[in-house]
Chains A and B, each alone.
Chain A
Amino acid sequence: MTRWAMVADLRRCVGCQTCTASCRQANATPPGVQWRRVLDMEVGEYPAVKRAFVPVGCMHCDDPPCMHVCPSTATKKRADGIVTIDYDLCIGCSYCAVACPYQARYKTDRASFAYGKATASEEQGFDPKRLAVATKCTFCADRIDAGLAKGLKPGIDPEATPACVNSCITQTLSFGDVEDPQSNVSQLLAENQTFRMHEELGTGPGFYYIWDKKVEETPS
């Protein structure tokens, strides 16, 4: 089986927002709709302060609360772990948005553009199906599927890899199959200490955060 997952190495992220900009463009989302977002977090009090940049978005959970609550079955989970939304089914009730503990879902009721009227590039990417329904990160499923069909490897071949990962200038973001022990992401998880966001909620996010390398075990 395949389980696509994202790994973010928090040691590397500098909050440059390149992934956010790239995602906005690749997925033609309207202003303010950031399927891939990077938080600027501050922890502690002066002078003992730490600041961290944390990529977030849809975690493509194993047990997605958004899917369970969805009354229209618009939200589904694929066998490869990607959580999808069928824009033709969604009624735009936003139940999924309040069910998601990661604030990953957006609903835009009216068409909105960078400068009021749609520019040529915005017209090109505009999809009326996305109005007034829930939208979120798709892990660029279209790219993955098209890439796989061409025999490419998601997470390795750019054409089959999510736009945010392709754009990441720090190699913070990696994408791959966690079920494949040889994959890039499995290697990263094996070598490093990780956590998942709000793990206590039992959603089983498909998004891992590296915070340190694994401590090498010393022979006793």
Chain B
Amino acid sequence: MNAPEKTAALAKSGKRATYCYQCVAGPDLLTVKIVDGVATEVEPNFAACSVHPGGGKVCVKAYGLVQKTYNPNRVLSPMRRTNPKKGRNEDPGFVPISWDEALDTIAAKLRSIMQAGLLDESGYPKVAANFGGGGTPQSYMGTFPAFLAAWGPVDMGFGSGQGVKCTHSEHLYGEFWHRAFTVCPDTPMCNYVISCGANVEASGGVVGVWRHANARERGMKRVQVEPHLSVTGACSAEWVPIRPKTDPAFLYALVHVLLHEAARERLDLPFLKAHTNSPYLVGANGFFLRDAATRKPLLWDLKRKAAVAFDTPGCDPALEGTFSCDAVEIGPDAEVLAQGRLEGSPSFAKLLAHVQPYSPEWAAGICDVPAATMRRIANEFLDHAQVGATIEIEGKTMPYRPVSVALGKTVNNGWGGFECVWARTLLAVLVGGLEVPGGTLGTTVRLNRPLAERLESVTPGPDGFMHYPMNPTDRENWSPRPNIRNAYRSMVPLAANGPWSQALGPTHFSWMFLKETPKGLPTVTLPEVWFVYRTNPAISFWDTKDVSATMARFPFVVAMAYTRDETNHMADILLPDATDLESLQLIRIGGSKYIEQFWEHEGYALRQPVVEAQGEARDFTDIATELARRTGLLEKYNASINHGSAGVPLKGENWDFSLETGSVHGRDAIWNAVCKAASAELTGGKEVHDLAWWKENGLATKPFPHTDWYLFPTLVEQGLRFELPYQERLYRIGKELGNRLHENDMQWWDEQLAEYQTLPVWKDFPGLWEKSLLRMGGKTADFPFWLLTSRSMQYSWGNNVGIQLIKEVADNIAGHRGVIVNAGTAAELGVEDGDTVEIATPLHSVTARAVVRQGIRPDTLLLIGQFSHWVTPFAKDFGVPSMNSLVPMSMALTDATGSGADVVRVSLKRTGGEK
């Protein structure tokens, strides 16, 4: 085989700049101290302080990288499984093999697939791949994306956490409404935040934590609404211990106060009239009344006293009342539902009527929060909104609305997620606080394109709103034959069809449907080859026992293995890739990115080998190149790198560093070209820096305008409105999707179809989990507790459970050693701190040490993080369970976006004394 090229000798001492992007809240820029060729210490890259929005600091997870490198439990040579039987109780019998043997085995398998066809009889890709951590593994997998692109169709829709462990509703609806894959307050300028379970102090990364600490000291008030007192709750001005999964009722009550108790003029009426669909007239069937000729939605102009098209200049639209006009009402599948003289009301009026029943008094019984508290919070929100205020940033005058609502993970996925996201965005809209300074902002796009240019993703769409790349629901284009196993294209229009869409569909369906494919879809098949990298779905997904059993059926699994773990326990080949401090990659940084990553710079940062790779671990780029060569895909692979799959197109306006496509290029040669192209792109071709320069400097940036944090000016420029509060388009596509499914005799998605509403109604969301308990054969009274989870800053996304330092410091934070139980509840059950308790559903049970605390509702239990490892060295001895073993995976608990929530009803009993 081709040995990896000779690379430059590594420094034996000094500091090298690199990055950590182990979690979605990164990247952090750091230096690693080297003594006698050994990495000893991680430090912030102090040279990056001035460009990094978190003062250039580095998250705790990065401090584990030194131990990560030298962990004696690493897999350090390629391994082959010798036991053909797979399963939790089967010893895989891994034996070391050469890289040649490993790569040849994989390449032979891939070539046989190429000969037989890349899709199977059901039309699904025969090759599947899983990468964890919200896309962060891409910052470590070198040029593997180029290999995948050269290969062709790959199923990347097997879930490993997506949909239950992310803010799924926010991803989909957020992108739809305001190009917001994730949503956050404009923390540096915000003065009042209602945070429903958003655990920014644990999951916001350095930048989130930095910004909130500054805001706190400045006096920003954050009200934390959640069943347990998280670290974020701890750092908030107020904690509201709400009953789990009742957040929609809480938020609806706030909306009610704003719409039915506050003086109308305290809302941002000009914003509602000009920048939302509030004035659009809605007909009897729930669809907009439209101009018969142009099909444009109509609004009632108070000046002209007539219905006019929404984009008529100089009108003063009515927000309330009922009006009669010549119009047409068009339903799903372009069906004309009514035409002629029709009566309609502005959607704002519909909204008023819709939220009328949702008073704080109504919500109090549901949420277990006093009505007075909700009313006070609503009024504080309004008082802080400063409706009418403006601010000048970089010479641009913009509205200034320093109030926001943030949503947490379990609030934001599964049933009730849509309602929360809608109500949250509506609260912003009512005070004109969406996408303006101080208000509620989207961060980045992953479903809209281009991925790196959020503002450029805004293009005009129908009815005065932004375009959205919805999956088709019309007769001509909808298909019951999905491209991948989780069927996102057929079932979830909002998931769009970009590179990220596969992971944003109902990713648990891939696992569920392998057992039984529902009627109408092609039988879901096992992938013939499955690549796994930096993910451990056997631990991190829901219903993990079942997921493990299913993956044991996969015929050929290739796992890039750091250490042995529960997923690669089922692998056929283990490949040791060089880890964070051993390998090379350039990534894009800055601009605006997930969670709270808002920079005033953008550019690139290099991850470079700080020390020699341990054992036979090999850089992922070299692995990808070899796979491409051995499968005969080298040309396409190189072409894909040239095209930009390593993060930067190698050819620009006046530069060309393209690789010769017919040859094998070593890691350094490839990244040298990428480095040159990146520096050229940053400087418009003026400066070209090679790999050696980047290794020395670590990063390079150019300014990113602060004003580009806000979407509102772009909408104004393009004369577009936010598609709120009324959801005519969603209602329509829901109806159309229903038509398509029913035409194909698919009735099993009917409950989900009901989520497509113009104005979402409150449903008994907690009741859905109680019903699920009944289906499991339990009675509500026997399982009185809500089991929840919460992120751990020390672990989340980090793939670092095997790192001793991380375990040690994480244990300083309460709950890392067991299940958090309310002190009163514990006393009633005779449970003392440290006792062993059993947590059970009717189907499964786990044991844990009790961690008795005051900061949790009496009806709630909390298991931080996700442990319960049974293979991963070091972690398998923690003795801490995970709720993932208890959460059932079911169609009934899947919402219309294809997501579920981390909630389950359980019982709790003491089984023994202190462990």
Q: For chain B, residues 785 to 816, give those with C-beta under 8 angstroms from any C-beta of chain A.
A: 793-794, 804-806, 808-810, 812-814
The one of A12, A17, A18, A45 that contacts B823, using a Cβ cutoff of 8 Å: A45
Report yes or no: A38 in contact with B812, Cβ–Cβ below 8 A: yes
Q: Which residue of B lies closest to A37 (CB)?
A: B812
Q: Quick one: which of B45-80 are within 8 Å of A by CB? A: 46, 54-55, 57-60, 63-64, 66-67, 69-73
Within 8 A of B (CB), among A2-45: 9, 11-12, 14-18, 20-22, 24-26, 28, 31-32, 34, 37-40, 42, 44-45
In the bound assembly, the distance between CA atoms of A22 and B232 in angstroms comes to 22
Binary interface profile of A, 152-163, with partner B (CB < 8 Å = 1, else 0)?
A: 000000100001
Contact residues in A for B72 (Cβ distance below 8 Å): 115-117, 119
Contact segment of B123-131, B152-160, B616-624, B850-858: B850-858
Closest to B64 in A: A21
> What residues of chain B lie closer than 8 Å to A182, measured between beta carbons?
none
Contact B804 A25 (CB under 8 A): no
Query: Taking chain A's interface residues, is the majority helix, strand, or loop, or is none over half, making it mixed?
Result: mixed
Size of chain A's interface in residues, with CB distance under 8 A?
53
Question: B60 touching A21 by the CB < 8 A rule?
Answer: yes
Q: Which of A50-58, A75-83, A103-111 contacts B (4 or more CB under 8 A)?
A: A50-58
**B458 CB–A CB distance under 8 Å:** no
- Establish whether residues B808 and A31, one from each chain, have CB atoms under 8 Å apart when the complex forms: yes
Residue of B nearest to A47 (CB): B241
When C-beta atoms are compared, the residue in chain B nearest to A119 turns out to be B70
Question: Which residues of chain A are near B43, meaning CB under 8 Å?
Answer: 22, 26, 158, 163, 166-167
What residues of chain A lie closer than 8 Å to B858, measured between beta carbons?
46
Contacts of A124 in B (CB 8 A): 35-36, 38, 40
Given contacts A46-B854, A158-B46, contact A125 B804 (CB under 8 A): no
With both chains docked as a complex, state the minimum distance between the C-beta of A194 and any C-beta of chain B, in angstroms: 14
Segment at the interface with B among A127-135, A169-177, A197-205: A169-177
Is the Cβ of B57 less than 8 Å from the Cβ of A167? yes
Identify which of B54, B810, B854 contacts A17 (C-beta below 8 A). Answer: B810
Docked pose: A44 CA to B824 CA in angstroms: 13
Most buried by B among A11, A32, A158, A167: A167
CB of A41, distance to nearest CB on chain B (Å): 9
B231 contacts partner chain A, Cβ-Cβ < 8 Å: yes
Q: Bound state CA distance, A119 and B813, in angstroms?
A: 26
Contact B822 A16 (CB under 8 A): no
Contacting residue for A26 out of B41, B64, B229, CB 8 A: B41
Given the interface contacts A47-B241, A120-B38, does A167 sit within 8 Å of B216 by beta carbon?
A: no
Q: CB of B44 within 8 A of chain A?
A: yes
Q: Taking the complex as formed, is B97 at the interface, i.e. its CB lies under 8 A from any CB of chain A?
A: no
Number of A-B contacts (CB under 8 A): 168
- Contact (Cβ within 8 A) A39 B229: no
Flag if A169 contacts B57 (CB, 8 Å): yes
Smallest distance from the beta carbon of A14 to chain B beta carbons, Å?
A: 4
CB distance from A97 to the nearest CB of B (A): 19
Q: Which B residues have a C-beta under 8 Å from some C-beta of A?
A: 35-36, 38-44, 46, 54-55, 57-60, 63-64, 66-67, 69-73, 201-202, 206, 209-210, 213-214, 216-217, 229, 231-235, 239, 241, 793-794, 804-806, 808-810, 812-814, 822-824, 853-858, 874
What 18 new A-B contacts, CB under 8 Å, besides A24-B63, A120-B38, A172-B213?
Answer: A14-B231, A16-B59, A20-B809, A25-B42, A31-B805, A34-B812, A46-B822, A46-B824, A47-B241, A50-B234, A51-B233, A53-B231, A115-B71, A115-B874, A119-B67, A124-B40, A169-B58, A169-B206
Report A's interface with B, CB cutoff 8 A. Answer: 9, 11-12, 14-18, 20-22, 24-26, 28, 31-32, 34, 37-40, 42, 44-47, 49-53, 114-117, 119-125, 158, 163, 166-172, 213
Between A and B, 17 residue pairs with Cβ closer than 8 Å are: A14-B209, A14-B235, A16-B59, A20-B812, A24-B805, A24-B809, A25-B805, A31-B808, A51-B234, A51-B855, A53-B235, A114-B805, A115-B71, A117-B72, A119-B71, A158-B43, A169-B58
